[in-house]
Structure 1
């Protein structure tokens, strides 16, 4: 009995160590994103920041939809079958490059219809789409590292926002920053990230690998199921920005973007629990894994990821909502005062959104992509209906309320799907949640007592 407890403690400790590393990296990434976003808003102004937000929203949405779930499939199959990892990466890279070329061509043609009447914005849009082939192909190694080396994966994830922030500062020091130059900096940082990922990935998965038809079929099958959830998720997560880009002035969109970037700063921390759980759950389904790593271990990992992400998101949102009014205007100026109200309207949904992201990864690690797709489709429909009903009358405030309500609906659906897959009733989850809180509190109290000497014996 004692040996079993020790083995469970070691597994949980390894999981939480990985989460702490991933969460720390995610928070640094979020910090870089927040600082660079606020810096861009300060330098470009509300109008320029809104234009840049529209460019990023359209290009990232196109990338998420069109990559066909191949990146998630690469992570899943590298974790499930490490011996075939290099073939998976080689095959996936070829598929992603071909898709990237098609996306680049379509985006360059569509740019004048997206940014009507603004030649500089059209040029920036085209520049962002031109880089898509390299960005697509380079992402294969990033996702392979998630399955093989979390430390290398975290380093690669941190590289892009760090390099981007440095490049932005260097541009501002040398000349006037424009939206076009900001897009150049973003593209360069992603390319550097891809090169580093390929170098580190070559060490964790040695050999050349081969393009294999059967591997391509497996990637396409898993990826297509992932795409069924990725498309509605990508549309739903950016639908507010996409809609506001054509309904309101760029200045209003800029204020909305700033509020969103601040209140969502803790999302990467919440997502870390799911990102670490996903390859572990995939490995538990592998024929290469031992029977001891299956069964109750799957339930434990899934439950800890859900509970911890929800608790973390709630605490962070409360803290950010409390301090934002005192700092936002002081840092950004009077033109962003309205962002405070928008931030509060988004807070409720954001507290649940981080847990939603974790549950996405849990279901994908268990191979239940279609369950994610069903939940995300309902989320998209609900968000469209809410945005259509609230945004025309309430503007950016209506969009903030619609996003929060849609996140709540998705949370309920995803939680139900996870419980069905794990064959676990909600009452059991509540009991384990209380046990988790008590265990973590007791561990913290023991550490405190030891550090102060009250827990020592003579």
Structure 2
């Protein structure tokens, strides 16, 4: 979280609204294209690594070739569609840097196939190192550029691509060391992998598209500065995502049970605690945002305050939606994920086409919150249909929920305080 916040501050302070918008557009489309056309290669490699009857070298070579092929298609789409569509008003230097940055999509294929193969062997040391090294190295280099007054969109893109290239070389070295690549390709495995990935990855693509549809539309139709301010508004409320993730990690395992009545009782507890915790944190953050955004990101981003305040409720709504989604997934209703995100995507795009012309940044923020309401409504309907038809009043926090949350935070605080005391005593 700290790395993400620091990166957001560097992009805002170093690039300004327009530069940040251009940088976000290029990096966002890179990630979207890879995610859409990788067909969930990490999960695919994991599946076939243990289930397919062939040598590991043939499996690795086949799936690496399979992934690189689709990543090359993604690069071609980026070069001939995204660059003219999104970057038409960018300078020639930025366009060139963007074209070079898009090539890094191919590097990602090597990383995911290698990491999945190592995970299949239960070897996580190298993968964990790479996962930590990439964001940390990028942030360190950008901080150094910022402190020496050399940070701009060109240096940011080229440094990021250079770090990707270093990671790529480390991956190649690891592949050679473990003698993982050969010359034989199993075409039957490649076709099977495509079928498997297409079926399992559709929901993920729909989900990613619905979550990023606002930024995608902003990058295409409006000035880059609008995307820069919008992304700053998102960054300013991102600490709440950490809270939501923590709630999910600690409470969502409760939602796997055989009896639907048990799932319902547990889900209601999770929902009430989520509303209580996220609501309290949102209230505190809403008080801090009007001062915090211009102070942390710069006066140029004062326009991000109102959009951030408008989008604050969406994080709590999404947290509740995730509870219903996980409860439904726990009883085997996984197809609802794809259906929900597709519905949200259609509504989001339609609403953006209506709102963007006249309302622009404010309209984008409003649509983001409306999309969260739609997502919650669909999951709520599915939950009522398949698990329990309940009164909405059961979602409202009760006195015992307040006591439970207070006890939880008190316990965490006392544990941390105890560790500090022990550390001081031992010193």
Q: Is contact 1:379–1:406 with CA below 8 Å preserved after alignment?
A: yes
Does residue 20 of structure 2 align to residue 49 of structure 1? yes
Residue 294 (structure 2) aligned to one of 329, 347, 355: 329
Does residue 94 of structure 2 align to residue 121 of structure 1? yes
Where does structure 2 lack aligned partners over 5 or more consecutive residues?
419-427
Residue 113 (structure 2) aligned to one of 122, 140, 152: 140
Residue 260 of structure 1: how far off its partner (Å): 1.2
- After superposition, give the CA deviation of every residue in 1:278-320 in whole Å (9 maximum; x if it has no partner): 9x99xxxxxxxxxxx98469969x9599657666544543333
Rounded to whole Å, the distance in 2 between the matches of 1:304 and 1:247 is 41
Does residue 367 of structure 2 align to residue 402 of structure 1? yes
Aligned length: 406
Aligned residue in 1 for 2:29: 58
- Secondary structure of the equivalent of 1:337? helix
Q: Give the alignment's Cα RMSD to 1 decimal.
A: 4.8
Does residue 41 of structure 2 align to residue 70 of structure 1? yes
Q: TM-score, normalised by structure 1?
A: 0.70
Aligned residue in 2 for 1:112: 84
- Secondary structure of the equivalent of 1:176? coil
- After superposition, give the CA deviation of every residue in 1:46-68 in whole Å (9 maximum; x if it has no partner): 11111111112222221221112
Q: Is contact 1:274–1:360 with CA below 8 Å preserved after alignment?
A: no
Does residue 11 of structure 2 align to residue 40 of structure 1? yes
Residue 167 of structure 1: how far off its partner (Å): 1.3
Rounded to whole Å, the distance in 2 between the matches of 1:262 and 1:442 is 29
Rounded to whole Å, the distance in 2 between the matches of 1:314 and 1:156 is 36
Q: Is contact 1:226–1:369 with CA below 8 Å preserved after alignment?
A: no
Residue 150 (structure 2) aligned to one of 164, 176, 196: 176
Aligned residue in 1 for 2:227: 253
Q: 1:356 to 1:443 in 2, by over 3 A?
A: closer
Aligned residue in 1 for 2:343: 378
Rounded to whole Å, the distance in 1 between the matches of 2:287 and 2:151 is 32
Rounded to whole Å, the distance in 1 between the matches of 2:332 and 2:118 is 19
Q: Is contact 1:160–1:190 with CA below 8 Å preserved after alignment?
A: yes
Residue 229 of structure 1: how far off its partner (Å): 2.2
Where does structure 1 lack aligned partners over 5 or more consecutive residues?
1-29, 282-292, 454-458
Aligned residue in 2 for 1:351: 316
Rounded to whole Å, the distance in 2 between the matches of 1:120 and 1:380 is 33
Aligned residue in 2 for 1:25: none
- After superposition, give the CA deviation of every residue in 1:187-233 in whole Å (9 maximum; x if it has no partner): 34445566778999999xx9959976676556434421343223333
Aligned residue in 2 for 1:239: 213
Which has the larger displacement, 365-374 or 91-100? 365-374
Rounded to whole Å, the distance in 2 between the matches of 1:65 and 1:303 is 32
Rounded to whole Å, the distance in 1 between the matches of 2:54 and 2:409 is 42
Rounded to whole Å, the distance in 2 between the matches of 1:366 and 1:74 is 26
Q: 1:89 to 1:313 in 2, by over 3 A?
A: farther
Correspondence 1:58-457 to 2 at 5 A: 58-74=29-45, 91-110=62-81, 111-117=83-89, 118-142=91-115, 156-173=130-147, 176-190=150-164, 208=180, 216=190, 219-271=193-245, 295=258, 303=267, 307=271, 313-354=278-319, 356=321, 370-417=335-382, 424-425=387-388, 427=390
Rounded to whole Å, the distance in 2 between the matches of 1:82 and 1:274 is 33
Residue 132 of structure 1: how far off its partner (Å): 1.0
- Secondary structure of the equivalent of 2:88? coil
Rounded to whole Å, the distance in 1 between the matches of 2:131 and 2:355 is 36
- Secondary structure of the equivalent of 2:239? coil
Residue 378 of structure 1: how far off its partner (Å): 0.3
Residue 133 of structure 1: how far off its partner (Å): 0.8
Q: 1:222 to 1:265 in 2, by over 3 A?
A: farther
Aligned residue in 2 for 1:27: none
Q: Is contact 2:286–2:309 with CA below 8 Å preserved after alignment?
A: yes
- After superposition, give the CA deviation of every residue in 1:10-60 in whole Å (9 maximum; x if it has no partner): xxxxxxxxxxxxxxxxxxxx3212211221211112111111111122222
Rounded to whole Å, the distance in 1 between the matches of 2:276 and 2:329 is 22
Which has the larger displacement, 67-76 or 339-348? 67-76
Rounded to whole Å, the distance in 1 between the matches of 2:48 and 2:325 is 17
Rounded to whole Å, the distance in 2 between the matches of 1:409 and 1:181 is 40
Q: TM-score, normalised by structure 2?
A: 0.75
Residue 397 of structure 1: how far off its partner (Å): 0.1
- Secondary structure of the equivalent of 1:177? coil
Rounded to whole Å, the distance in 2 between the matches of 1:339 and 1:264 is 13
Residue 428 of structure 1: how far off its partner (Å): 11
